[in-house]
Amino acid sequence: MNKLHALTKETASEKSKQIFKGIEKTVGRLPNIYAVMGNSANALSSYLIFSESQRSGSFNSKEIEAVALAVSEENGCNYCTSAHTAIAKMNGFSQEETFLLRTGIHTDEKLNVLTNLAKSIVANRGRANENLVNAFYAAGYDETALVDLVALVIDKTFTNYIGRLAKPEIDFPVAHPLNNELAA
């Protein structure tokens, strides 16, 4: 069976090689998920532009990482869960908080609403639980934030699906399944 695989600088197209150089300059290395996405320079380039644009939306970096963890958990992508656990910790979350964000049970009510709504959007293919939408508005978010949340869900779902299809080697500290972590 043919497998979607991570490219190297030697096997990538010229356009992907250029994109890889930009990623390495920004990130310091080429994460394996991007090496897989480089199979389509168009998709990788489009994704990077879309993803970067989300940084100037309604949410701060901690909220973005909370959503990334919740969505990656809901979609069952261990690569992205591992990557965003590491990034969330760089953004000030503790290891325990990363577990709570993945479950949607966080002590910060706004983060709790945000992650649960994100998980509901994923689980129900856009037909989110109305009570969660109402709680989102009650927490102080507005219509702009709801559209931005859907954009974040789409952003992470794209990488989650690539991660699930390709199963790239996880090049971050591995985030173990929640049932193992919550029992520990």
CA distance 67 to 92: 15
CA distance 3 to 77: 17
* Co-location of 85 and 23 in the same domain: no
* Co-location of 65 and 48 in the same domain: no
* Co-location of 106 and 131 in the same domain: yes
* Co-location of 25 and 76 in the same domain: no
* Co-location of 156 and 172 in the same domain: yes
pLDDT, tens digit (0-9, with 9 covering 90-100), for 39-62:
999 999 999 999 999 999 999 999
Q: Which domain holds residue 36?
A: 14-54
* Co-location of 96 and 29 in the same domain: no
pLDDT, tens digit (0-9, with 9 covering 90-100), for 107-135:
999 999 999 999 999 999 999 999 999 99
pLDDT, tens digit (0-9, with 9 covering 90-100), for 55-84:
999 999 999 999 999 999 999 999 999 999
Residue at 4 is within a domain: no
Which of 27, 54, 81 is a domain's end point?
A: 54
* Co-location of 66 and 33 in the same domain: no
User: Domains in the chain: how many in total?
Assistant: 2
Which of 38, 54, 70 is a domain's end point?
A: 54
* Co-location of 45 and 21 in the same domain: yes
* Co-location of 33 and 105 in the same domain: no
Residue at 42 is within a domain: yes
CA distance 154 to 143: 17
* Co-location of 114 and 33 in the same domain: no
